[in-house]
Amino acid sequence: MRAATMRLNQNTLLLGKKVVLVPYTSEHVPRYHEWMKSEELQRLTASEPLTLEQEYAMQRSWREDADKCTFIVLDAEKWQAQPGTTEESCMVGDVNLFLTDLEDPTLGEIEVMIAEPSCRGKGLGTEAVLAMLSYGKKVSDHARSDQV
């Protein structure tokens, strides 16, 4: 997988049974910022508290970095229940794919955070990780076929 392919998810929606994965956009930042005020989440994610302005800068960085792919995890049931429901109101966490070796783009790391305590232990994180693995493999296979 070429590093530049990581930004392909900018217009991608991944629909599962329990989760919907959408690209992390500036519209998601206020809710994400509220989550990250939690000392528990800071500890679990080894994160430092950021100002809202810093959180917007971080979101832009994640969107532009060629070695990262970030999706916001939405509760699929809530998202599909009412047409017009905002993504922000359905947010439960995020899932990230990081390329760890640009010389070997088949090596990476996946992280998932289910930030909403009421949504933990219900399989949403598992489905988000499996969807991200599938997406990463598909993008990697596509990039390799382009190189042949």
pLDDT tens-digit series, residues 50-80: 999 999 999 998 888 878 889 999 999 999 9
* Averaged pLDDT, 30-40: 96
pTM for the structure as a whole: 0.88
Most confident of 65-69, 70-74, 139-143, 144-148: 70-74
Strands across the sheet containing 108-114: 14-15, 19-23, 68-75, 91-99, 108-114
Which amino acid appears at position 130 of this protein? L
The domains of the chain, with CATH numbers, are: 3-147 (3.40.630.30)
- Quick check: 46 pLDDT over 70? yes
CA gap 43, 36 in Å, rounded:
10
Which amino acid appears at position 24 of this protein? Y
Q: How confident is the model over 76-135, as pLDDT tens digits?
A: 999 999 888 899 999 999 999 988 877 777 788 999 999 999 999 999 999 999 999 999
- Quick check: 145 pLDDT over 70? no
CA gap 133, 126 in Å, rounded:
11
Confidence class for position 6, pLDDT limits 50, 70, 90: very low
CA gap 96, 33 in Å, rounded:
17
Q: How many CB atoms lie within 10 A of CB 73?
A: 31
Whether the Cβ atoms of residue 94 and residue 74 lie closer than 8 Å to each other: no
Burial of 145: CB neighbours in 10 Å, binned 0-12, 13-18, 19+: exposed
CA gap 141, 130 in Å, rounded:
16
